[in-house]
């Protein structure tokens, strides 16, 4: 599975970091998410799905 962020949509809520801190960083200059792990596997997938679900801007994409 591939995890990406649409930076055209990301509004810096940081809900993703709350759900999956191991998968994301945050760029304080652009005030947007940085995807650290672009191919989550195993237990990371549940955290990635939660981050996608709870992103208020629908900016995260998890796909095959």
Note whether 40 and 1 are within 8 A (CB): yes
Q: Report how many residues bind ligand SF4 under the rule CB under 6 A.
A: 13
Q: Kindly state whether residue 60 participates in binding ligand SF4, applying the rule CB under 6 A.
A: yes
48 vs 29: CA distance, rounded Å = 24
Q: How many residues does the chain have?
A: 64
User: Which of residues 45, 50, 57, 62 is near ligand SF4 by CB under 6 A?
Assistant: 57
**b/e for 4-13, b at 16 or more Cβ within 10 A?**
ebeeeebeee
Q: Kindly state whether residue 62 participates in binding ligand SF4, applying the rule CB under 6 A.
A: no
Least Å distance, CB 14 to ligand SF4, is 5
Q: Which residues bind ligand SF4 (CB under 6 A)?
A: 5, 10-16, 33, 55, 57, 59-60
């Amino acid at each position: 599975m591939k995890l990406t962020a649409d930076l055209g949509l990301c509004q810096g809520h940081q809900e993703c970091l709350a759900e999956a801190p191991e998968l994301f960083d945050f760029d304080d200059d652009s005030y947007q998410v940085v995807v650290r792990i672009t191919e989550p596997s195993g237990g990371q997938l549940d955290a990635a799905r939660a981050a996608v679900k709870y992103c208020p801007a629908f900016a995260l994409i998890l796909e095959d």
